[in-house]
Structure 1
Amino acid sequence: MELAFIQNIGGGFLIFLLFSLAYFILWVYCILDVIQSEFKDQNMKLIWIVILLFAQGFGPIAYLVLGRGTKKIA
């Protein structure tokens, strides 16, 4: 019964679900990393949080590429 249900919803839905889950995990990781990190400029923390909240498709990738350079070196 369950296998027939999975076959009826199609593989596209399963792939979409996996990508959505992976993106959500990436987004949560980036938010937590911004909150826990110290930045060279104190306003950068607020800027990155706003970018992550409002630029959903672009925010986490931009943070991973560009945000690392704005942190203080411990």
Structure 2
Amino acid sequence: MDVQVSGFLGLLILIADIWAILNIIQSRASMVNKLIWILVVLLLPVLGLLIWFFAGPRGR
């Protein structure tokens, strides 16, 4: 894979993770649940994002 393509994909994943974290923070979940979800997204950037998308807490 070309370096520019992989860098672009990495940037997209970073943006999506930041978006997910902001949505987690704005959700009505408890602080403990928010912390767990944020850790999942940070430690497993792609898989955590997919898990959050399908099963995570939603915004306000």
Q: TM-score, normalised by structure 2?
A: 0.77
* Identity fraction in percent: 25
CA distance in structure 2 between the partners assigned to 1:53 and 1:15 by the alignment? 22
Tell me if 1:38 matches 2:48. no
- Can you give the 5+ residue segments of structure 1 that lack an aligned partner in the other structure? 1-10
Whole-Å Cα distance in 2 between the matches of residues 17 and 50 of structure 1? 23
Q: What secondary structure sits across from 1:58 in the alignment? A: helix
TM-score normalised to structure 1 length: 0.65
Structure of greater relative contact order (alpha carbons < 8 Å, 6+ residues apart) = 2
Consecutive unaligned residues in structure 2, runs of 5 or more: none
Secondary structure (helix, strand or coil) at the match of 1:38 reads: coil
Match of 1:15 in 2: 5
CA RMSD of aligned residues (A): 2.0
Distance 1:71 1:57 in 2: 18
The structure having more radius of gyration, on CA atoms, is 1
